Amino acid sequence: MRLPYCCARWIVTCAGLLGLLALPSAAGRAQQPRATALDTTTLTDRVEQVLAAVDDAPQTAQAAERVAELVDQPVNVNRASAAALTQVPGLSGTVARRLVQRRRADGPFEQWAEVRALPGLSPSTLRAVRPMLHLGAAPTGLFPSLRTLTTNLSGRVTQRYARDLDLGRGHRTGRFAGGPARLTTRLRLRHERRLELALTLDKDPGEALQWAPASGTYGFDHVVGSVTLRDLGPVRTAIVGDFAAQLGHGVALWQGLRFGGGRNPVSPVLQPGRGVVPYRSASESNFFRGAAATVGLPANLSLTAFVSRRRRDATVDSSAAGTAAASGPLPVRTLSSGGLHRTATERARKGTFGETTMGGAVEWRPGPVHVGAAGYHAMFNRPLRPGTRPSRRHRVSGRQTSMMSLYATAAWSAYSLFGEVARAPTGAYGGLAGALVERPRAAAVVLGRWYPPALAGLYGNAFSAGSRPQNEQGVYLGARVQVAERWTVRASFDQFRAPWLRFNVPRPTTGWDGRAVLEYAPRPWLSSYLQVRAQGREEATERPGPAGRPLEAVQEERRTSLRWHTQYRFSDALTTRTRVEWSRHTTPAATAHGILLSQGLRWTPISALHVDVGLSFFDTDGFAARIYAYERDLRYSFSVPVFFDKGRRSYVMAQYAPWAALTVAVKYGITTYARPRTIGSGLNALYGTSRRALRAQVQWRF
């Protein structure tokens, strides 16, 4: 690895930028930039903190969509429940409960000064979450009149176009059925909180635009929509169409997005479920299709019930054709979640697995205590047979499955206790338990989890180091301390083990993940943080055996990273972001290093125009020392490119709003490598030195 390549070019670039910005810098110091409720710079920081806590692409996409939705339709502080308020990234459960208690005792909030005076809500937190909150009117009446409904409707239409300009093997060889563009259309119509109609249409690159109802394709390959009614007397929520269920703490039933720790190691650990919510994401997995409702009952009780019937992508085990002909349909080996239908093989998996699910929950909320029971029962049109490999032994199998759980949360002042215990059809019990204390200058959380290998479920999404709450035991510790007025320390440590085999790992393994962040914010327009992260995990490898035959084994792999990030607002028109990150990956046989140097700039020459420019140089010893870095992107979208080998990444994005109702955004990005190489893999692979991409989006509000 030759660091001078990166360092020299980055230093020259930064020197040029600083020279150009010298005049605005002086002006910025003379007059502090004014803070606004919809501060786009603060919002971008919030998005980055949220995405840093999400590991996989579908979850990351939903995180970006969720934050953008919250900005478009902020949560009404005078109407939302504590569970709804905690879905705002950065707003803790303790603060959410205090907001609701203060509202019930003294009536709705009329000014932000009243919110600011709430104990435990720091000015920096309020600045970060305020774009996702608003002080609306409290609910009145059972249902609005027709005149009120028609005169207070609001809606928006969003159309996005995105494509890679350098095409991979699938497009060049004609293997893909459709063109290289990704098209996404979003339609939304709502009356305050009471009524909402949503429709999302999405076509991935390589998929064809066609009308084929027999295969579940209606023009666009992915279509989700719903009609939602809220606050209709005892009916709190009623949904017809596509929805997600988020109940308890996620051990038995939690679909869609769940925020992790990241740079905020305390608050996201305790997330109370929101019940049933409309599903509007472009991600094509992990949702229900049917009807759902939550009804309030006397004595602080509530009842949630849902029924769903949908078809999912799956790989049919054709090898069982000879034995299954007499007993029914062919079994399914694996369920697919990627949602790609570009080739004949991918289209053959579409909608082959029928699933009918019924479930619900009963909850009791007497003051600070929240107790509930949830469960579901799912039936399949084909048997699930995950195979005989040892790592698949405990997966869901057969023609049906179910799960039930008991969960509770108890909160007193700044203290909270929470937990959930679930039971699988195999008779296995598992769950989590934790305690949290949150004060204005300090907070801490401890969470223990025990998910046996036999705790097999389809819809669980609880706190874990893996992709599902199964085959894992661990303890998580998180803390936040404001050591001085402008200095904050955040730290977390997670120790875990898998008592059974994981995919392609031949024996039980252990792992750990530690993170420490030092934040410094001397002014509202200047902030910086230093993050150190270390991870260790046992992974699969091969070792020579008798007669030179390779034997399966495990080895410990360690990953260490150090990041310094700073942001400076020279004025209302100009903000710069600088990042330096170093990574190291070690195994008993090799060590790899990497470095990333990045400079970003946001220029707002007029209030209607934002221009973002980013330039990064990277130099790593291959994929093992890869570095991820969030960059600004179109609303409802995300971009967290992975950097490895040696090269540079640059992008420019412009967003223009000529009228309040219309916003147009365009982004162009290019990643260039120092040497020709194969970029991507499989049918997406191409050979060369660069990869270019173009994205555009138009949004109309009415």
How high is the pLDDT of residue 31?
38
What are the pLDDT digits (tens) for 259-313?
Answer: 666 778 887 788 888 899 999 888 888 899 999 999 999 988 999 999 999 999 9
For 148, counting Cβ atoms within 10 Å of its Cβ (0-12 exposed, 13-18 middle, 19+ buried), the class is middle
- When pLDDT is averaged across residues 392-412 and rounded to a whole number, the result is 92
Per-residue three-class SS string for 301-317: EEEEEEEEEEEECEEEC
Q: Report d(CA 221, CA 291) in Å as an integer.
A: 22
Beta carbons of 164 and 220 less than 8 angstroms apart: no
pLDDT of residue 10: 46
When pLDDT is averaged across residues 531-539 and rounded to a whole number, the result is 94
Pairwise CA distance, residues 635 & 65, whole Å:
8
What 3-state DSSP class applies to 142?
Answer: coil
pLDDT at 111: 84
Helix (H, G, I), strand (E, B) or coil at 621: coil
Q: Which of 71, 77, 72, 76 is nearest to 42 (CA)?
A: 71
Which residue is associated with the tokens 């979850």? 59
In this prediction, residue 72 carries a pLDDT of 72
How far apart are the C-alpha atoms of 103 and 281, rounded to whole Å? 32
Contacts 24+ apart (CB under 8 A), 500-508: 500/391, 500/393, 500/394, 500/453, 500/471, 501/390, 501/391, 502/391, 502/466, 502/471, 503/391, 504/391, 504/540, 505/391, 505/538, 505/539, 505/540, 505/554, 506/540, 506/552, 506/553, 506/554, 507/554
Return the SS3 of 468: coil
Per-residue pLDDT, 406: 97
Summarised one tens digit per residue, pLDDT across range 407-454 is 999 988 889 999 999 999 989 999 999 999 988 889 999 999 999 999
Residue 431 to residue 412: CA distance in whole angstroms: 23
Highest mean pLDDT among 13-17, 67-71, 393-397: 393-397
Q: Where are the alpha helices (DSSP H) in 373-481?
A: none
Q: Tell whether the model's pLDDT for residue 330 goes beyond 50.
A: yes
Region 388-392: what's the mean pLDDT?
86
What crossing angle do the helices spanning 57-72 and 40-51 adopt, rounded to 10°?
150
pTM for the full predicted model: 0.84
* CA–CA gap between residue 328 and residue 318 (Å, rounded): 13
Q: Which of 262-266, 384-388, 539-543, 595-599 has the highest mean pLDDT?
A: 595-599
* 8 A C-beta contact, residue 700 and residue 160: no
What pLDDT score was predicted for residue 41?
Answer: 47
Q: Look at residue 259 in the predicted model and tell me its pLDDT.
A: 65
Q: Residue 56: pLDDT above 60?
A: no
Distances in Å between the alpha carbon of 98 and those of 119, 127, 364? 8, 18, 19
HSE-up of residue 583 (Cα within 13 Å, Cβ side): 25
185-201 average pLDDT score: 89
Q: How far is CA 387 from CA 314, 395, 442, 665, in A?
A: 14, 9, 49, 47
The full set of domain ranges for the chain reads 37-142, 152-232, 233-408
Please give the pLDDT value at position 45: 56
Quote the distance between the C-alpha of residue 593 and its chain's center. Answer: 28
Neighbours of 3 (CB within 10 A): 12
The helix (H) or strand (E) run that includes residue 55 is none
Query: Which band of pLDDT confidence, cut at 50, 70 and 90, is reported for residue 44?
Result: low
pLDDT of amino acid 139:
58
Both tokens of 40, joined, read 């786009």
CA distance 269 to 478: 9
pLDDT of residue 493: 96
Is the four-CA dihedral 34, 64, 189, 161 of positive or negative sign? positive
Indicate if the pLDDT at residue 573 is higher than 80. Answer: yes
pLDDT surpasses 50 at 687: yes
What is the pLDDT averaged over residues 537-564?
A: 88
Q: How far is CA 333 from CA 318, 380, 641, 664, 678, in A?
A: 9, 13, 32, 44, 32
pLDDT at 274: 85
pLDDT in tens, 633-681: 888 777 778 899 999 999 999 999 999 899 999 999 999 999 988 888 8
Q: How confident is the model at residue 320 (pLDDT cuts 50, 70, 90)?
A: low
Q: What is the pLDDT of residues 2-20, one digit of tens each?
A: 444 444 444 444 444 444 3
107 vs 156: which has the higher pLDDT: 156
Integer Cα distance of 186 and 156 in angstroms: 8
Of 274, 446, 459, 439, the closest CA to residue 370 belongs to 274
pLDDT of 483 higher than 80: yes
3-state secondary structure (DSSP) of residue 528:
strand
pLDDT at 668: 97
List, for residues 97-151, the tens digit of each pLDDT value.
Answer: 788 888 888 888 888 888 888 877 777 777 778 878 888 776 555 555 555 555 6
Phi and psi at residue 150, to the nearest 5°? -75, -25
pLDDT digits (tens, 9 = 90+) for 337-389: 888 999 999 998 998 999 999 999 999 988 788 999 999 999 999 999 988 88
pLDDT at 554 over 70: yes
Which structure tokens are listed for 440? 């204005």
